[in-house]
Amino acid sequence: MTQSEILFERAQTHIPGGVNSPVRAFRAVGGKPIFIKRAQGAYLYDEDEKPYIDLINSWGPMILGHAPAMILEAVQQALGDSLSFGAPTRKEVEMAELICELVPSIEMVRLVNSGTEATMSAIRTARGYTKRAKIIKFEGCYHGHGDSFLIAAGSGAITMGEPDSAGVTQGVANDTLTAPFNDLEAVKTLVQANQGQIAAIILEPVVGNMGVVVGKDDFLQGLRQICDAEGIVLIFDEVMTGFRLSVGGFQQIVGIKPDMTTLGKIIGGGLPVGAYGGKKEIMQSVAPVGKVYQAGTLSGNPVAVSAGLAMLRHLKQTPSVYRQIQEATQQITKGMQAINQKYALAYPINSIGSMYTIFFSQKTEIFNFEDAKTSDTALFARYFQEMLKRGVYLAPSQYESLFVSTAIESTQIAHILQAHEEAIQVLSGENF
């Protein structure tokens, strides 16, 4: 037995499913999860010291690869001053100033400990500000595990949502309406049927959580117009895309200013930090200035904020990071496409910046969750296992984005493409 197998046995006794976040359990791809002991640069090392090229990068935060010296140093320096004060600090001020500078739609910001807290708090703030109850979200977008977001579409376009997790009440679901992503007409229908009742529209402007799906320009512009006309708070959930697609997030690339933005992942530099912010007028609804309550014992934690500050300062000073990881990603995706063509396969690969997903679908283009769900997840699972065998660690689900870090260079790209070709060969030998 490998160390991972031994640990997984033990883990299942005292941790539900043996993991502290469900997708880590490999249920969508079969087999047993790999237990990671340490990581450096482009590589994860498991408990048996086997290396893997990491294309998850902690689900986004490790944009500079693992154990980047400048972030470790910032954390080490902070450690000497103790771990938590429960009182305001200079670093929180510097962090808030930097976020507002880099993401200009954010005029005021509140730090929290995760993306989930950021989105939960953002919709509470939008509801408090607008004095309205309902929100619109999109099928296949993930906004963390807050009750209001664990909602599936109802049966008709104007019906209310259905709980998508046990333990979420119908009462909560009644206030969450869902529409297909990239479908402006569906949003118009929902808004018309719920006139004056919608507090917020929340979306991932580039979705990572159904696999990569980029929001179309006219869709995003249309949402901006609807929100302006109807007094609805437009929330871009940039927990994944913030500081990943550019230092100003996807909103900088598409040139749209949301009313509120949620952040997470990269802003903690690998430690738990989230943030929500936006227009001053809206953020002044938050306690202690306004009546929307939100708090956190460890919010703005000095060690976590030190890591985040070091990360954001580095990204601000080093714009070449984005060019580098985009080029590496294009080399990977173009290489995969060329290999697929040799085997007469035309699986769509959606990609933007340093994010990409290959969909094992017969469709030529993937624009929303309906499209994404046409993927052959059993085939993906076999592909995943073949890649893992060859030392490439992909996200263990079809419906995820992969993330390229600055540590992925030509050696690793060659390894990834070689593994891809061998995996495709193996799968081509089977009948699919």
Ligand X SMILES: *Cc1c(COP(=O)(O)O)cnc(C)c1O
The catalytic residue among 91, 134, 137, 265 is 265
β-pair partners for 134 = 198
Q: Is 237 a catalytic residue?
A: yes
Q: Is 209 in the site for ligand X (CB under 6 A)?
A: yes
- Give the shortest CB-60-to-ligand X separation in angstroms: 7
What minimum distance in Å lies between the beta carbon of 345 and ligand X? 29
The 120-149 contact track toward ligand X, x by CB under 6 A, reads ----------------------xxx-----
376 in catalytic set: no
Stretch that binds ligand X, among 9-17, 112-120, 243-251, 315-323 (CB under 6 A): 112-120
Catalytic residue among 46, 183, 237, 259: 237
Check whether the bond before 258 is cis (ω within 30° of 0).
no
Residue 37 designated active-site: no
How far from 81 is each of 77, 85, 306, 310, CA to CA, in Å?
8, 10, 11, 17
Task: Measure the CA dihedral 145/147/150/154, to 10°.
Answer: -170
Compute the least distance from the CB of residue 127 to ligand X, in Å. 18
State the catalytic residue, choosing from 43, 52, 129, 142.
142
Phi first, then psi, for residue 44 (nearest 5°) are -100, 145
With CB under 6 A as the contact rule, the residue among 211, 264, 269, 348 that binds ligand X is 264
Cα–Cα distance for residue pair 148/161, rounded to 1 Å = 10
Rule CB under 6 A: is residue 359 a binding residue for ligand X?
no
Taking the complex as a whole, the smallest distance from the CB of residue 83 to ligand X amounts, in Å, to 20
Question: CB of residue 355 vs ligand X: minimum separation in angstroms?
Answer: 11
Please give the residues from 227 up to 246 whose contact with ligand X meets the rule CB under 6 A: 237, 239-240
Judged by CB under 6 A, the number of residues near ligand X is 15
Q: State which residue, 232 or 239, has the beta carbon closest to ligand X.
A: 239
Q: Which residues are catalytic?
A: 142, 237, 265
Binding footprint of ligand X on the chain (CB under 6 A): 114-116, 119, 142-144, 204, 208-209, 237, 239-240, 264, 274
